[in-house]
Amino acid sequence: MQEVLDYECMGARIRYRRKGSGPTLLLLKNEEALPDDTAFIDELAKSFDVIVPDHPGFGLSDTPDWLKGMGDTAYFYLDFIEALKLDKLHVVGCSVGGWIAAEIAVRDCSRIASLSLLAPYGVRKSGVPFGDVFLWTPEESVRKRVRDQKLVDGFMARQKSKEEEAALLKDRYGTARLAWNPRFFNPELQRWLHRIKPPLQTIWGDHDELAPAEIFDAWKAGLPDARNTMIKDCGHLPHFEHPETSAAVVRRFISEVRP
């Protein structure tokens, strides 16, 4: 059964969901929360106590005055982790959520047991550009994220409520606040990757048009022990296109690195 809860931080109400039981896993969602991530959460909840916040400025969470950039988001999550008394925490981040996870860990990884980053932004490789979602129409933004266009057809055909349309627009503004300049990376993060001490893996789709899998080389340069798993016939959203496979990769990694 899923709980829907609120956490207050400096006057802002942050919405989060909690489902499952077992070791605690913090799932940091991708930008523009589409398509839905229910199947991936359900898979993870079979093995973990899964906590899924709407980032500040996204979804059903408030957009606080103190939210100016990625650093504020990282420090918010450090407060969130401390307030919920989370420890030995497995962090899974998708896209922008993967970037947030790394920004948290370079600041303080004392409560983190492992990191699994699915097609993360935040670090770049020279000569390998990110796709620029800010130049795409809403439909292009979905289609370029997903390899299986039949899944996109179903998503685009579904009638969306006014609330859903407003949430998508809010998420787009939230993404711009975090990733506008520089586009989708932080040179400071790249310089300090060595501060990430817990085991880290990345998971990439082999047809990612937004954050090509070659970017893993830059993560590996900063974290020589980092692992990578490639998922076939997959775009930028492994957790959406292949939720069972992606959850199995996360579960296997955690089982291998747990003390």
Query: For the chain, what are the domain ranges?
Result: 3-257
190-211 pLDDT, tens digit each: 999 999 999 999 999 999 999 9
Does the pLDDT of residue 35 top 70, yes or no?
no
Does the pLDDT of residue 147 top 80, yes or no?
yes
Q: Which of 57-66, 135-144, 188-197 is least confident? A: 135-144
Q: 3-257 — its CATH code?
A: 3.40.50.1820
- In this prediction, residues 26-33 reach a mean pLDDT of 89
Residue 152 neighbours by CB distance under 10 Å? 18
Are 113 and 207 a contacting pair, CB within 8 Å?
A: no
Q: Tokens 């229910």 sit at which residue?
A: 38
229-246 pLDDT, tens digit each: 999 999 999 999 999 999
Does the pLDDT of residue 159 top 90, yes or no?
no
What integer pLDDT is reported at residue 160 of this predicted model?
A: 74
164-174 pLDDT, tens digit each: 788 888 998 99
Strand order in the sheet with 200-205: 3-9, 12-19, 49-53, 24-28, 89-94, 112-118, 200-205, 227-231
What integer pLDDT is reported at residue 74 of this predicted model?
A: 98
- In this prediction, residues 104-120 reach a mean pLDDT of 98
Q: Tokens 């809403």 sit at which residue?
A: 138
Of 52, 45, 76, the C-alpha closest to 4 is: 52
Q: 127, exposed or middle or buried, with CB in 10 Å at 0-12, 13-18, 19+?
A: exposed
What integer pLDDT is reported at residue 36 of this predicted model?
A: 64
Please state the pTM of the whole predicted model: 0.96
Could you tell me the end-to-end alpha-carbon distance of the chain, in angstroms, rounded to an integer? 29
Report the distance separating Cα 93 and Cα 228, nearest Å. 14
Report the distance separating Cα 205 and Cα 242, nearest Å. 10
Q: Which of 70-79, 88-97, 127-136, 191-200 is least confident? A: 127-136
Sign of the dihedral through C-alpha 112, 121, 153, 135: positive
For 187, the token pair is 């040179």
Residue 54 CA, distance from chain mean position: 11
Please state, rounded to an integer, the average pLDDT across all residues of the chain. 94
- In this prediction, residues 48-76 reach a mean pLDDT of 96
Residue 195 CA, distance from chain mean position: 20
From residue 249, how far is each of 5, 137, 156 by CA, in Å? Answer: 28, 32, 29
What integer pLDDT is reported at residue 222 of this predicted model?
A: 97
What integer pLDDT is reported at residue 154 of this predicted model?
A: 84
- Quick one: angle between helices 70-83 and 162-179, nearest 10? 110
Of the pLDDT bands very low, low, confident and very high (cuts 50, 70, 90), residue 68 is: very high
Of the pLDDT bands very low, low, confident and very high (cuts 50, 70, 90), residue 1 is: confident
Percent of the chain residues topping a pLDDT of 70: 98
Percent of the chain residues topping a pLDDT of 90: 82
- In this prediction, residues 38-60 reach a mean pLDDT of 96
